[in-house]
Structure 1
Amino acid sequence: MGLVVNSGDETTLTLLNDEILSPPQKNIPKDSFHFAYIIYFTLGAGFLLPWNGFITAVDYFDFLYPDESVDRIFAVAYMLVGLFSLICIIFSPRKSDAFVRINMGLGLFVVSLLVVPLMDVFYIKGRSGLYNGFYVTVGALGLSGLADALVQGGLIGSAGELPERYMQAVVAGTAASGVLVSFLRIFTKAVYPQDIHGLRNSAILYFIVGIVLMIICLVFYNVAHRLPVIKYYNELKLQAVNDAKQDKGPLSGPVWEIMGTIKWHGSGIVLIYVVTLSIFPGFITEDVHSELLGDWYAILLITAYNIFDLVGKCLTSIYLFENENAAVNACLARLLFYPLYLGCLHGPQIFRTEIPVTVLTCLLGLTNGYLTSVLMILAPKKVQLQHAETAGILVVLFLILGLACGSIVSWFWVI
């Protein structure tokens, strides 16, 4: 990993991540049946499923609240609450334990997901125009945004303290969440009629699946801390923290120094999601059409994007591109998607057919998944082990900032 040198007259720090994270192999407990990996994969899928559930049920909410711009209000409410909450976590003078934050967040996810189906059964009952229900729904979404900050920040932060495969598992899990919801969307569209009864059944199914997965995540996460392999790396982190306290006094957590160390990783992540969110899903759902596939076209394109996003995030388990400068340059190269998609919309007729658009959408998902996984894996390894959790939380801050900027760009820029 190399030496970490602080500015000014501070002493050169010689404690290397590689020495901590790569102890003699014979001393490391085995991840039996890859159970720890499966747990972190499931947790990665879990913390994104509530958002995916709310936004996938947008047809149901559009019917209930026709005078509101549901998808845009949902995005602003969720991301602003999540961003503000994450900033509070990062700069809080007293850092709460990740174990507490994650358990609290998973509990809040369950509460927020219960609101919509319970309100549908006891109050809304399929009736349109009851806007008190809309305000309650937005409040539940905001609660889900808070839960996301607690869970995602804590989970990415704690995965940053573990070997690379566990961060890869979390990131791949986030993509699996999108694939799961896409298949649920295909199932509900094929099975349920597209009237209010079908929309209600579809929405309730999304939220029930989300609640079940949150309960599984709660059980899995509390089991994870009892696994020998996780205990082993937690003890390494405690040792690193204690060593740092003895060398330099109380560990203050130099947030700005850590942010400076991983700034290029964070910049790459922001750029990834500005490009992705300014194209997807707006272009896919509004600008391209198919006479052959009709309203299935957008659903199939979104599914293709999510599948290739998962493929990209899984590829880092086979080959991890460790040149961070090249990875950031690859993020810049993704700007080429803009003229390519413009060609599919306004270019020669051969480019305005289903195949070119589908290929581009698959490549958009593949590059989004792979580069996100690379940068999120590498960033926490740039700092000492005792600061890896903070680096992981900062990576999530960059991620949410990229999502927010991409969403804003999609409002003002249309292909």
Structure 2
Amino acid sequence: MSYSINRQPLLRGISDSEFEDDIETEIEEPSISKQDEEPFIKPHEPTDRFQFAYLVFYLLGVTTLIPWCFFMTADEYWMYKFREIRNDSGNHNYTLADQLGNKTDLQASFMSYLSVCGAIPNTLFLIINAFISDKISLELRMIGSQGVVLIIFLVTTAFVKADTDHWQSLFLIITLSSVALMNMISAIFGGGLLGISGRFPPRYITAMSGGQALGGILAALADIFCLWLGASPVVSALLYFVIGDAILFFSLVSYIFLQKTDFFKYYTHVKTRHSSREQNYTVNGDVTFSHEHKFSYLRIAKRIWKYGLSLFLVFFVTMSVCPAVTVLVESKNRGHGHAWNDIYFVPVVTYLLFSCGDYAGRLISGIFLWPKGKPWLVMYMCILRVAFVPAFLYCNAQPRHNLPVYIDSDLFYIFMTIIFALTNGYLCNMIFILVPTVVDPQEREVASAMMGGFLGLGISFGSAVSLGLVKVL
């Protein structure tokens, strides 16, 4: 508790500003009311009727990964589009057996092109979003970005039935340009979603984060279903992109309705303005109050950098081996004529099991959160995950030319994948939940958007390292 004593001469004139300074440093007692510090009647906190906002946050989380998941999962479709065209028959009866044979230059390089065109623009705009989040309206960032992504997805869907056999290079340029543009816009949307979720209670952050993992599960299930159905590459791609179009459309409509609810307005507007009147700062031991809050990116960065570095490490380690290395890990009994070992092992373990473990980890962190208030311990836990990198390198990843195989057991590899996925989801969601607790209420959106930048950097650097790790095998 601090006291302010006026030591000036009694008859000395004082200005209004000096008088206000003296008032601001008076003793603070619970029994003394502060005029204009908070409204006489506090705004009523509305309820989330029918859990509508919670479900929409789930859907918005799914939407953030729809562009990436559905483009990556349609691998057989891209191999069909960039196949070798034979003059005699046109090679329209393209099958999975053709894909496993010799690949053309476009086929072999397409996934690398896709990764680069996706990761770099996404990371760049996640960082930019942290600095423009308070300069561009929330409605424009959220509704506008979803609308543009939906349009790009509709154009991509239209190209599925188009005959691009005689202009593959032009189709490649169009596709990669669409991917780059879509990832730029998705970064603005994802960064905005992170900022919004930071204003809401932790369970809504968990819903958003869980929705991201659910997007991976949906893509993996669609892939497995098409393998079981035996659908052609064109039919599979059409199914993928139509599902993506539907999810994006419902996500856009749901958000439009969500922003009109009192519950949403309370946490994004009313509560933020109310909290701005409660900010206090300690200067030379005295507590002063400010009615206006100015953002300081440096101050926010100092408060969140430990969590930011932790989030970077989480995604750097994950993207270093998944999916570039893990997709190469084969079953020990591959080639013995069993469908599980030859067809379903990789899509089930690498994609579906990882996505389910990631989803479970995010849910667990929403229920049991540990450690709290110990960012250094969180960072150490993220560093320990680096051990997964050499572990996966010594699994049965094929083909390999340099490293021996030490882990050839399917069960041990599955167990390792589960732990890898659980820790990824748990640490990721825990960091998202803890970041808003170390900044002021008005800074939560900017802080969460800055975390999106750390996330993007982890994905980009991890993806770059994965290219080198594949060569090491």
CA distance in 2, matches of 1:164, 1:368: 18
Pairing partner for 1:306 from 337, 345, 355: 355
Q: Report the equivalent of 1:30.
A: 47
Q: Deviations over 1:105-153 (max 9, x none)?
A: 10011111112221232443xx376211111111111121122112101
Asked whether 1:413 is paired with 2:469, we answer yes
Pairing partner for 2:303 from 248, 256, 261: 261
1:394, distance to aligned residue in structure 2 (A): 0.5
Q: Report the equivalent of 2:379.
A: 328
Could you say if the C-alpha distance between residues 288 and 122 of structure 1 is closer, same or farther in structure 2, counting changes exceeding 3 Å?
closer
Q: Deviations over 1:339-358 (max 9, x none)?
A: 43345347787x31211111
Larger Cα-atom Rg: 2
1:280, distance to aligned residue in structure 2 (A): 0.9
Q: How does 1:156-195 map to 2 (within 5 A)?
A: 156-193=194-231
Q: Report the equivalent of 2:190.
A: 152
Asked whether 1:50 is paired with 2:106, we answer no
Paired residue type of 1:51: W
Could you say if the C-alpha distance between residues 311 and 128 of structure 1 is closer, same or farther in structure 2, counting changes exceeding 3 Å?
farther
- SS of 2:412's partner is helix
1:391, distance to aligned residue in structure 2 (A): 0.4
CA RMSD of aligned residues (A): 2.7
CA distance in 2, matches of 1:54, 1:358: 25
Q: How does 1:355-394 map to 2 (within 5 A)?
A: 355-394=411-450
Asked whether 1:206 is paired with 2:240, we answer yes
Q: Report the equivalent of 2:20.
A: none
Pairing partner for 1:340 from 378, 391, 394: 391
Q: Report the equivalent of 2:79.
A: 62
1:97, distance to aligned residue in structure 2 (A): 1.6
Q: Report the equivalent of 2:261.
A: 227
1:199, distance to aligned residue in structure 2 (A): 0.7
Q: Report the equivalent of 1:90.
A: 130
Structure number with the higher helix fraction is 1
Paired residue type of 1:61: W
Q: Report the equivalent of 1:238.
A: 273
TM-score, normalised via structure 1 length = 0.87
Pairing partner for 1:270 from 312, 334, 337: 312
Q: Deviations over 1:219-267 (max 9, x none)?
A: 1111212333222222111233466699668654212221221111111
Pairing partner for 1:113 from 147, 153, 156: 153
CA distance in 1, matches of 2:384, 2:110: 33
Asked whether 1:100 is paired with 2:140, we answer yes
CA distance in 2, matches of 1:317, 1:250: 33
Q: Report the equivalent of 2:321.
A: 279
Could you say if the C-alpha distance between residues 25 and 92 of structure 1 is closer, same or farther in structure 2, counting changes exceeding 3 Å?
closer
- SS of 2:366's partner is coil
- SS of 1:387's partner is helix
Q: Determine if contact 1:87/1:397 at 8 Å carries over to the other structure.
A: yes
Q: Deviations over 1:260-302 (max 9, x none)?
A: 2111111111111111111111222224344151132111112
Could you say if the C-alpha distance between residues 262 and 131 of structure 1 is closer, same or farther in structure 2, counting changes exceeding 3 Å?
same
- SS of 2:105's partner is coil
CA distance in 2, matches of 1:269, 1:240: 28
Q: Report the equivalent of 1:20.
A: none
Larger CA deviation: 179-188 vs 329-338: 329-338
- SS of 1:288's partner is coil
Q: Determine if contact 1:115/1:137 at 8 Å carries over to the other structure.
A: no
Paired residue type of 1:395: M
1:205, distance to aligned residue in structure 2 (A): 1.1
Q: Determine if contact 1:86/1:149 at 8 Å carries over to the other structure.
A: yes
1:50, distance to aligned residue in structure 2 (A): 1.4
Q: Determine if contact 1:63/1:128 at 8 Å carries over to the other structure.
A: no
CA distance in 2, matches of 1:361, 1:185: 19
Paired residue type of 1:315: I
Larger CA deviation: 304-313 vs 294-303: 294-303
Paired residue type of 1:303: L
1:33, distance to aligned residue in structure 2 (A): 2.4
Q: Determine if contact 1:83/1:400 at 8 Å carries over to the other structure.
A: yes
CA distance in 2, matches of 1:231, 1:93: 17
Identity %: 25
Q: Determine if contact 2:56/2:258 at 8 Å carries over to the other structure.
A: yes
CA distance in 1, matches of 2:183, 2:276: 30
Paired residue type of 2:223: R
Q: Determine if contact 1:98/1:155 at 8 Å carries over to the other structure.
A: no
Larger CA deviation: 84-93 vs 373-382: 84-93
1:57, distance to aligned residue in structure 2 (A): 1.1
Could you say if the C-alpha distance between residues 100 and 294 of structure 1 is closer, same or farther in structure 2, counting changes exceeding 3 Å?
same
- SS of 1:352's partner is coil
CA distance in 2, matches of 1:259, 1:313: 25
CA distance in 1, matches of 2:357, 2:246: 26
For structure 2, list consecutive stretches of 5 or more residues without a partner in the other structure. 1-23, 29-40, 83-103, 281-287, 397-402
Paired residue type of 1:265: Y
Could you say if the C-alpha distance between residues 336 and 94 of structure 1 is closer, same or farther in structure 2, counting changes exceeding 3 Å?
closer
Paired residue type of 2:188: L
TM-score, normalised via structure 2 length = 0.76
Aligned length: 388
Q: Determine if contact 2:277/2:290 at 8 Å carries over to the other structure.
A: no
CA distance in 2, matches of 1:371, 1:156: 16
Larger CA deviation: 254-263 vs 79-88: 79-88
CA distance in 2, matches of 1:82, 1:88: 10
Q: Determine if contact 1:320/1:374 at 8 Å carries over to the other structure.
A: yes
